[in-house]
Amino acid sequence: TMLDNRYELLEIIGVGGTAVVYKAKCHRLNRFVAVKILRKEFASDQQFCRQFHDEAQAVAMLSHPNIVNIYDVSRSGNVDYIVMELIDGITLKEYLSRRGQLSPKEVTIFATQIARALEHAHDHDIIHRDIKPQNIMLLSNGNIKVTDFGIARFSYSDTKTMTDSAIGSVHYISPEQARGGTTDDRADIYSVGVVMYEMLTGQV
């Protein structure tokens, strides 16, 4: 499958609740990229489409070594998609499943990088709101990349979470977010604490 006569979809590399991620080749720049495509069952839902494009808009504003880069966002026919850098690595969740609990030194190294990524986002008035090991990529060189700003919101816009929308992951979200209350950057910090606990103990 070719999108906009530019991006050739090669294989599925990730499946999420609302989107599927493909490895693709950009024929214009001759490089491999990741293409995130909104699932067909959500493509006709205006709320999901708006959320999908909010993610691209949010991350495209950011430029940080610990945040996955967004290259392009477009619509080809009835397909909404985001083009991102292709990460050669595994999720922190996968790493934890292999290693169990991590050393305090390793936890500090990872948590510091996550915090730097979030600090950059918060400085641009963007709250991630879905920090969890599944949304943190670990590269082969030990560096961290935060990804999937799928429910990110600008801090000055509507930041309420509808609890019946099953948005976010219940193990990691802050109490105010779980209640459907107003969230700010402290919600991300709370989630980082939960992730650190899991890294240190091996338990969610």
Active site residues: 130
What the block records as the tokens of 192 is 């980082």
Q: Which of 84, 198, 100, 95 minimizes the C-alpha distance to 143?
A: 95
Residue closest to 175 by CA, chosen among 193, 158, 157: 193
How many angstroms separate the CA atoms of 82 and 20, rounded?
Answer: 11
Angle among Cα 143, 147, 183 to the nearest 5 degrees reads 120
Per DSSP bridges, beta strands 31-38 and 79-85 are antiparallel
